[in-house]
Structure 1
Amino acid sequence: MENHCGLVTLQKEPVPLKGIAVDVSVQGHVATVSSILQYENQEESPLEAVFVFPLPGEAAVCRFSAKIGQTEVVGEVQEKQKAQELYDDALSSGQQAFLLEESSESPDVFSLSVGSLPPGEKASISLDYVTELAVQADDGLRLCLPAVLNPRYKPQGPDSAAGTQVSSVPAGSVPYSLSLRAHVTSPHPISKVESNCPLEPLNYLNTERTQATVSLAAGHKFERDIELLVYYQDAHKPTAIVEAPQTSAKPGTLMGDPVIMLSLYPEFPKRGMSSMTSRGEFIFLVDRSGSMGCKIHSGPGAQNRIGSARDTLLLLLKSLPMGCYFNIIGFGSSHEMFFPKSVEYNQKTMDEALQKVKGMSADLGGTEILQPLKYVYSQPCLPDHPRQIFLFTDGEVWNTKEVLDLVKMNSGSHRLFSFGIGEGASSALISGMAKQGGGHAQFITGQDRMQPKVMQSLRFALQPAVVDISVNWNVPKGVSVTPLSPPIRVVFQGQRALLYAQLTGESPGDTKGSVTVKYSLAEKPVENQLSFSLKPAVDTGLTVHRLGAQTLIRSLEMEERERDGDEKIEGVKEKVVELSVQSGVSSAFTAFIAVHKGDGKAVQGPLFHRQVPTPMMYRGSGMMARSFGYSSGITFHKAAPKKMGVLRSAPSWRSREMAPPRSIGCSIASSGWLARGRAGRMDVEHQADHTSLVEFQSPVPLPTPEKEPLLQLISLQKASGSWILEPSLAEVLGKPQEDVAKSMPAQVNQEVWATVLALVWLYGFKIEAQEEWQFLAIKAVSWIKAQNVANVSECVLAGNNLLGCQVQMDTMGL
Structure 2
Amino acid sequence: MHISPLPDAAAPPDPEGGLGALSTDRGNLPLDAVDVRASITGLVAGVEVTQGFRNPFDVPLEATYIFPLPDRAAVTALRLEAADRVVEGVLKERAQARQDYDAAIAAGRRAAIAEEDRPDVFTMRVGNILPGERVTVRLTLIQPLPYEDGQATFRFPLVVAPRYIPGTPLDEPAAGDGTAPDTDAVPDASRISPPVLLPGFPNPVRLSISVDVDPAGLRLTGIGSALHVVAESGDGERTTVRLQPGERLDRDFILRLAYAPQETASLTLVPDEDSEEGTFSLTVLPAGRHRPRPRDVVLVLDRSGSMHGWKMVAARRAAARIVDTLGTADRFAVLAFDNVVERPPRLGPSLEPGTDRNRFRAVEYLATLEARGGTEMLAPLRDACHLLHDSGTRDRVLILITDGQVGNEDQILADLLPRLRGVRVHTVGIDQAVNAGFLHRLAQAGQGRCELVESEDRLDEAMEHIHHRIGAPLVTDLRLEADGLRLVPDTTTPARLDALYPGVPLVISGRFHGRPQGGLTVHGVAADGSPWRQSSTAVVSSNRTVASLWARAHLRDLEDRYLTSGSDDLERRIVDTSLRFGVLCRFTAFVAVDSRVATEGQTPHHVVQPVELPSGWTAPAAPMAAAYAGPMGAPGAPPVAGVPAAFPAPAPAATSGAPMARGPMAPGSMPRFRLPGARRRSSSELDDLRQRLTEHLQRLTSTPTPDQALLVDLLQFLEPAVQRLEALGTDVDPLATLVADLQAVHTPLDAAALQGLWDRTIKILTEFTTQAPQEPRPRRPFWKRTP
Task: State the TM-score, normalized to the length of structure 2.
Answer: 0.73
Please list, as runs of the form range in 1=range in 2, the aligned pairs for 1:420-435 lying within 5 A after superposition. 420-435=429-444
Find the partner of 1:472 among 474, 478, 481: 481
CA contact (8 A) 1:366 1:662 kept: no
Which residue number corresponds to residue 756 of structure 1? Answer: none
Counterpart pick for 1:166 among 170, 184, 194: 194
TM-superposed CA distance for 1:311, in Å, is 2.3
Secondary structure of 1:283 counterpart: strand
Which of 251, 254, 268 matches 2:275?
A: 251
Aligned-partner SS, 1:168: coil
Question: What is aligned with 2:207?
Answer: 178
Q: Which runs of 4+ in 1 moved over 6 A?
A: 6-10, 634-639, 656-662
Cα distance in 2, alignment partners of residues 348 and 157 from structure 1: 43
**Cα gap change, 1:635 to 1:182, in 2 (>3 Å):** closer
- Quick one: which amino acid aligns to residue 528 of structure 1? Q
Q: 1-side partners of 2:138 and 2:282: how far apart?
A: 30
Q: Look up the SS of the partner of 1:404 in the other structure.
A: helix
Distance 2:85 2:105 in 1: 18
Query: What corresponds to 2:454 in structure 1?
Result: 445
Q: 1:615 aligns with which of 612, 615, 629?
A: 612
Instruction: Tell me whether 1:306 sits opposite 2:312 in the alignment.
Output: yes
Q: Cα distance, 1:423 vs. partner?
A: 1.3
Deviation, 1:172, is: 8.5
Structure 1: unaligned runs, 5 residues or longer:
295-303, 650-655, 683-814
Matched residue of 1:201: which SS? strand
Q: Which residue of 2 aligns with 1:23?
A: 37
Other-structure match for 2:335: 329
- Does residue 198 in structure 1 map to residue 245 in structure 2? no
Residues 147 and 615 in structure 1, CA contact (< 8 A), matched pair in contact too: no
Paired residue secondary structure (2:154): strand
| Counterpart check, 1:276 vs 2:274 | no
Report the more deviating stretch, 191-200 or 571-580: 191-200
SS in 2 for 1:375: helix
Counterparts of residues 16-55 of structure 1 (less than 5 Å): 16-55=30-69
> Distance between the aligned counterparts of 1:487 and 1:671, measured in 2?
34
Q: Give the conservation status (yes or no) of the 8 Å contact 1:396–1:424.
A: no
Higher radius of gyration, 1 or 2: 1
Residue 208 of structure 2 aligns to a residue whose secondary structure is strand
Aligned counterpart, 1:189: 219
How far 1:171 moved relative to its partner? 8.9
The structure-2 alpha-carbon separation of the partners of 1:473 and 1:28, relative to structure 1 and needing over 3 Å to count, comes to: farther
2: distance between equivalents of 1:657 and 1:553?
Answer: 37
Alignment partners' CA distance in 2, 1:198 and 1:233: 25
Contact 1:68 1:123 in 2 (8 A): yes
Query: Out of 479, 484, 499, which is 2:492 matched to?
Result: 484
2:548 is aligned to 546
**How many residues are matched?**
621
**1:450–1:665 Cα change, 3 Å:** farther
1:334: Cα distance to partner? 1.9
SS at match of 1:82: helix
Q: 2:307 aligns with which of 289, 292, 299?
A: 292
Matched-pair contact (CA < 8 Å) for 1:46–1:603: no
- 1:133 equivalent in alignment to 2:145: yes
Q: 1:412 to 1:672 in 2, by over 3 A?
A: closer
Q: Retained in 1: the 8 A contact 2:20–2:627? A: no
Counterpart check, 1:664 vs 2:678: no
SS at match of 2:239: strand
Asked if 1:155 corresponds to 2:184, the answer is: no
Equivalence for 1:261? 281
Q: Does the 8 Å CA contact 1:57/1:426 hold for their aligned counterparts? A: no
Structure 2 residue aligned with 1:212:
239
* Structure 2 residues not aligned, in runs of 5+: 1-12, 171-180, 183-187, 650-658, 672-787
Q: Distance in 2 between matches of 1:3 and 1:459?
A: 43
Indicate yes or no: 2:78 matched with 1:64. yes
Which residue of 579, 587, 590 corresponds with 2:588?
Answer: 590
Task: Select the residue among 147, 150, 154 that pairs with 1:143.
Answer: 154
Partner of 2:568: 570
1:284·1:390 contact (CA, 8 Å) conserved in 2? Answer: yes
Pairwise CA distance, 1:94? 1.3
CA contact (8 A) 1:182 1:215 kept: yes
Q: Which amino acid is 1:331 matched to?
A: F
CA distance in 2, matches of 1:78, 1:681: 20
Distance 1:172 1:144 in 2: 26
Q: Distance in 1 between matches of 2:509 and 2:431?
A: 31
Tell me, yes or no, if structure 1 residue 504 matches structure 2 residue 513: yes
Question: Does residue 591 of structure 2 align to residue 579 of structure 1?
Answer: no
Q: Which of residues 362, 382, 388 in structure 1 aligns to 2:371?
A: 362
Change (3 A) 1:182 1:240: farther
Separation (CA, whole Å) in 2 of partners of 1:50 and 1:575: 29
Contact kept in structure 2, 1:97 and 1:596, CA below 8 Å: yes
Structure 2 residue identity aligned to 1:166: P
Distance 1:319 1:425 in 2: 26
Counterpart in the other structure of 2:535: 529
Q: Which residue of 1 aligns with 2:381?
A: 373
**Aligned pairs (5 A) from 1:702-713:** none
Question: Partner residue of 2:561?
Answer: 559
**Normalised TM-score (structure 1):** 0.70
Shift of 1:63: 0.8
RMSD (Å), alpha carbons: 3.5
Change over 3 Å in CA distance of 1:464–1:581 after alignment to 2 = closer
Determine if the alignment matches structure 1 residue 224 to structure 2 residue 251: yes
Q: How many Å separate the matches in 2 of 1:474 and 1:353?
A: 51
Note the alpha carbon deviations across 1:444-469, whole angstroms, 9 max, x for none.
11354324423422323222573331
Residue 324 (structure 2) aligns with? 318
CA distance in 2, matches of 1:171, 1:202: 33
Aligned CA distance change for structure 1 residues 120 and 664 (closer, same or farther; 3 Å) = closer
Write out per-residue CA displacement over residues 533-588 of structure 1, whole angstroms, 9 at most, x where no aligned residue.
2x323xx4x22111111122112212222226xxxx11111111111111111111
- Conservation of the 8 A alpha-carbon contact between 1:519 and 1:526: yes
Give 1:98 deviation, angstroms. Answer: 0.7
Same amino acid, percent of matched pairs? 22
How many Å separate the matches in 2 of 1:487 and 1:624?
42
In structure 1, how many angstroms separate the alpha carbons of the residues matched to 2:520 and 2:264?
A: 15
Return the letter of the residue paired with 1:198.
H
For residues 419 and 322 of structure 1, what CA distance do their matches in structure 2 show?
24
Letter in 2 for 1:377: C
Do the aligned partners of residues 173 and 530 (structure 1) sit closer, same or farther apart at CA in structure 2, a change above 3 Å counting? farther
Change in 2 beyond 3 A, CA 1:625/1:391: closer
| Amino acid of the structure 2 residue aligned with 1:553 | L
